[in-house]
Every structure is written in structure tokens, then in C-alpha cells.
């Protein structure tokens, strides 16, 4: 791959943004094939689809595709609708009085399911001190792989080593990285990832992975008929036997989201996560270099999510100029993905230069 390949859009005619879109950390653009799949299902349902509202076989295709992206087997993947629901299941499974360790300022959907319990010991430390702050009484360390507010990346190896040394379980929220940063979900007891950002899925598709060892400690608090080992024999009365795999933790799938997700994940696999990582990081590096020239250096990291301190109030003016970014915690946040190009980087730098 030469340098020019990392700075031109990937995905071809799948994407046609009408503005300079640097906001994937808020919401990814839907590929054309995904829109077609959702539209087809909705039209079929409106016409009286003989097989109901959607296809469980397609959901299993999505499960298998995400498993490949996350480098685990499909039996370790549960599907759902949102990170907060997945995190809530983990939170409700913790014993009273357990200590949960978080980075300060991490995303609220990861944290709040634990704080609303009222009987857990929630502790917050700076991200750079997360690993060293794990101690014998820590039951769980929960953190985002990439911080939503400013793009900082956690020290994965250090957190894993410290958690193992003290017997703490781990929960990694990969929402801001899955789809551009290789994910090895088996390295963590639990991972969660919202699908509507870098995985390019319609909102309503979300993923939970659970190691086989950790599965027995997780309560399937919203189990219903879809969670049975035999799917079609549990419509009435208690489910006879819950699925022996992580499917016991599924939520009933929002079929339009999953019919679309099947196409989105297929596109990511066709292009390759490693290629997307190189592309996204090259664009982010170009942007960071340009910011230094403007005298407004970004938060230091090599993430594709770039936070510029003190410029959050520029987001509205950028929007008026046709450039979409986000304001987060006082930062102006740009986020690059496969459909972006060097021209997008140069355009936002031009507008910022005034």
C-alpha cells in the first residue's frame, strides 16, 4: 500500500456525502448496500412478509461477521440494541459492594448502569493511571478503548496485566474503535460496541462479547423466548433451557438494523480492518500536523479520533461552512473513517485557518 492509497476514500460508490463529514464518532455514514437492505425489508414487511418482521438467519450472519472482526468465535457474541443495555447486564450481575474502576470522564452509557445500582463502590481515576490503580479489591475495570471526548487510547497491555495480577474482570467498550482498530475481544472478559459508528450499521445493532469463563457470572436479566437453546420451542411458559452460548444474552433483534448490519460488516471485511486503520490514522496524522502549523495542537495520540482543546465553540461555524464535526467536553472533535480523504482534512484546516 503506497501513501496515496491511505489518503483516498475507500468503499467507492457506497458513499456519497454531500458535505465534509468528519463526525463518525457521533454516527457513521450508511453504505448504499445497507440502505438497500433496510429498504427491501421494510417494503416486504409493508406488503405482508410471510416470514414475519425479519430473518434470524441474517442475525446469525451478523453475529458471525462481528465474531470475525472481533477475533472470537460466534458463540461468544451476543447481539442487542445499545451499549447501555449490555453494560447494564454486567452491572446488574455484580455483587453488592463490589468495586468498579473507571477512567475519569469516560462515556456515560458505560458508567451510569453501575452508578444507578447504589450499592457498588465506583471509583474514578485519570486514564493514564488506570492500570496502576487496579488493586486486589477491584472487581471490575470498565473503560473505553478510545475516549469519546478527546480520542485518547487506553494502554491495553498494561490494563490487561494489572487486572490479571489482581484477579479483576475487565469490560472494554470498543464503540469508538471497532471498525477501524483491530479488536481482540477474547483478551477481555466482556466487550461492548455500538454498531452505528465505525461499524457503519444502522442504529439498533450493538454487540456484546463474553468469554466462556465469564459467562457463568453474567445474569441474562432480559431473557425471553429468543434466548432458548432451541429457538422455536419457548413461546409459552418459562424457557426450558437457555442457550449454552453467549446467545443467552441476546436482546430480540431490531430486524431492519440487523438486515442492514449484515451488509455493512460485509463491506468492512471486504476492505479489511488493517487497511482501514492505516487509512484513518494517515488522515488523522495529516490533520494533527496541520493543527500544529495553525498553533492549535491536538490531544496527543495516534487515534483516528482527534480532540482539539478549547475549540469546541467552532463546531457551529464549521457546520455553516459545510464541515461536520462535534463539540465534546470543550474540545472540537474530528473523526476520520474510510470514506474520508486528504481533501476533507485540507478543507477543515482551511476553515479553521479562517
Q: What is the CATH number of the domain that holds 24?
A: 3.90.1150.10
C-alpha cell at 280: 484513518
In a shared domain, residues 303 and 331: yes
In a shared domain, residues 49 and 150: yes
Last residue of a domain, one of 270, 293, 312: 270
In a shared domain, residues 105 and 175: yes
* Cβ contact 145:173 at 8 Å: yes
In a shared domain, residues 159 and 185: yes
* Residue 37 domain-assigned (yes or no): no
Q: Say how far apart CA 85 and CA 299 lie, in whole Å.
A: 30
pTM: 0.96
Among 73, 108, 75, 109, smallest CA distance to 250 is for 75
pLDDT digits over 83-92, tens only? 999 999 999 9
Which residues are CB-contacts of 9 (< 8 A; sequence separation ≥ 6)?
15, 338, 339, 340, 341
In a shared domain, residues 77 and 222: yes
Of all residues in the chain, what percent carry a pLDDT higher than 70? 98
* Cβ contact 332:18 at 8 Å: no
pLDDT at 4 over 80: no
* Residue 316 domain-assigned (yes or no): yes
C-alpha cell at 270: 471486504
pLDDT at 104 over 80: yes
* Residue 220 domain-assigned (yes or no): yes
Last residue of a domain, one of 240, 270, 300: 270
The range of the structural domain enclosing residue 140 comes to 42-270
pLDDT at 3 over 60: no
In a shared domain, residues 199 and 303: no
* Residue 311 domain-assigned (yes or no): yes
Last residue of a domain, one of 245, 270, 295: 270
Q: Say how far apart CA 78 and CA 250 lie, in whole Å.
A: 5
Query: If DSSP codes are grouped into helix, strand and coil, which group holds residue 259?
Result: helix
Of all residues in the chain, what percent carry a pLDDT higher than 90? 95
Q: Label residue 5 by pLDDT band (50, 70, 90).
A: low
Query: If DSSP codes are grouped into helix, strand and coil, which group holds residue 316?
Result: helix
Amino acid at each position: 500500500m503506497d501513501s496515496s492509497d491511505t489518503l483516498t476514500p475507500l468503499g467507492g460508490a457506497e458513499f456519497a456525502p454531500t458535505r465534509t463529514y468528519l463526525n463518525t464518532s457521533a454516527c457513521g455514514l450508511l453504505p448504499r448496500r445497507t440502505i438497500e437492505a433496510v429498504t427491501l425489508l421494510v417494503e416486504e414487511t409493508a406488503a405482508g412478509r410471510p416470514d414475519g418482521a425479519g430473518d434470524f438467519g441474517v442475525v446469525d450472519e451478523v453475529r458471525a461477521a462481528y465474531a470475525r472482526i472481533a477475533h472470537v468465535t460466534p458463540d461468544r457474541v451476543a447481539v442487542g440494541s445499545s451499549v447501555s443495555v449490555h453494560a447494564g447486564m454486567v452491572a446488574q450481575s455484580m455483587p453488592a459492594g463490589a468495586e468498579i474502576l473507571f477512567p475519569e470522564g469516560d462515556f456515560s452509557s458505560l458508567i451510569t448502569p453501575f452508578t444507578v445500582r447504589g450499592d457498588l463502590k465506583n471509583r474514578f481515576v485519570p486514564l493514564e493511571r488506570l492500570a496502576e490503580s487496579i488493586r486486589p479489591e477491584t472487581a471490575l475495570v470498565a473503560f473505553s478503548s478510545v475516549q469519546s471526548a478527546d480520542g485518547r487510547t487506553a494502554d491495553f497491555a498494561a490494563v490487561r496485566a494489572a487486572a490479571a495480577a489482581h484477579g479483576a474482570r475487565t469490560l472494554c467498550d470498543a464503540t469508538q474503535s471497532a471498525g477501524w482498530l483491530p479488536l481482540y475481544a477474547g483478551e477481555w472478559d466482556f466487550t461492548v460496541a455500538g454498531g452505528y459508528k465505525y461499524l457503519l450499521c444502522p442504529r439498533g445493532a450493538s454487540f456484546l462479547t463474553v468469554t466462556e469463563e465469564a459467562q457463568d457470572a453474567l445474569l441474562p436479566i432480559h431473557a425471553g423466548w429468543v434466548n432458548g437453546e432451541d429457538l422455536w420451542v419457548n413461546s409459552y411458559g418459562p424457557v426450558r433451557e437457555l442457550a449454552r452460548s453467549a446467545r443467552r444474552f441476546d436482546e430480540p433483534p431490531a430486524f431492519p438494523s440487523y438486515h442492514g448490519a449484515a451488509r455493512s460488516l460485509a463491506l468492512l471485511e471486504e476492505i479489511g480492518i488493517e487497511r482501514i486503520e492505516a487509512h484513518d490514522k494517515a488522515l488523522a496524522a495529516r490533520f494533527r500536523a496541520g493543527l500544529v502549523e495553525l498553533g492549535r495542537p491536538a490531544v496527543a495520540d495516534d487515534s483516528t479520533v482527534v480532540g482539539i482543546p478549547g475549540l469546541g465553540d467552532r463546531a457551529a461555524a464549521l457546520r455553516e461552512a459545510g464541515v461536520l464535526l462535534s463539540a465534546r467536553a470543550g474540545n472540537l472533535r474530528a473523526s476520520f473513517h474510510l470514506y474520508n480523504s486528504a481533501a476533507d482534512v485540507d478543507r477543515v484546516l482551511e476553515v479553521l485557518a479562517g
